[in-house]
Structure formats: structure tokens, C-alpha cells
Amino acid sequence: MRAYSALTLVLPVALAALLPVPVAAQSAPQSDADKKAVIQQQKENEDAESLCRVIKDKADYEKCLELYFLDQDQFRAFLDAHKPKPAPKG
């Protein structure tokens, strides 16, 4: 029977200990509810952007977006006040 030195027996174990251990779940997968919430938020963002897009002034545009998420009544009033007026027919 062949005798192994202590280094021969310990070396594979030491090398294995130095290798990174894969993490089974680094981040938990998103649940269906989380995915639906993200999709809903994206839809709301797109809706707000499309409604506020009629406002050309950047500061007013940003205020419009802010009001969309904070107060729907103020948002509607702000949007009505800042809509471009139709050009008079000539």
C-alpha cells in the first residue's frame, strides 16, 4: 500500500476551499405579483408621458408628470390650463 504525505491529502481539500461556492439563489425570482406591479407602473408612466407630452415647456412638463402621480384632480386642472390652444381658422 502506498503512503501519502500530509500535503498530498490536504492540498485538494485546501484548493476546494479556495474556490468560490456558487450561491443557489443570489436574488429571489420575482413573483407574478411583483411582475404585474412593474408592468402596471410602466403603463402608468407611459400614460403620464403621453398625456403630458402636449406641454412644450420642460419645467411644466415635469410638473405635469409629478402631479399625475400625486394628485389626479390637480393634474387634470394643470393639464387643461397648459394645453396648447387650437389655432384659429383663417
pLDDT digits (tens, 9 = 90+) for 11-54: 555 545 555 655 544 555 678 999 999 999 999 989 889 989 98
User: What number of other Cβ atoms are within 10 A of residue 67's Cβ?
Assistant: 19
- pLDDT band with cut points at 50, 70 and 90 for residue 55: confident
- Structural domains in the chain (count): 1
User: In a 10 Å sphere around its CB, with 0-12 CB exposed, 13-18 middle and 19+ buried, how is residue 50 labelled?
Assistant: exposed
User: What number of other Cβ atoms are within 10 A of residue 68's Cβ?
Assistant: 21
Decide if 3 is inside a domain.
no
Decide if 20 is inside a domain.
no
Decide if 74 is inside a domain.
yes
Decide if 1 is inside a domain.
no
> What pTM does this model have?
0.54
* Residue 82 domain boundaries: 32-90
Longest Cα pair distance anywhere in the chain, in angstroms?
108
Decide if 71 is inside a domain.
yes
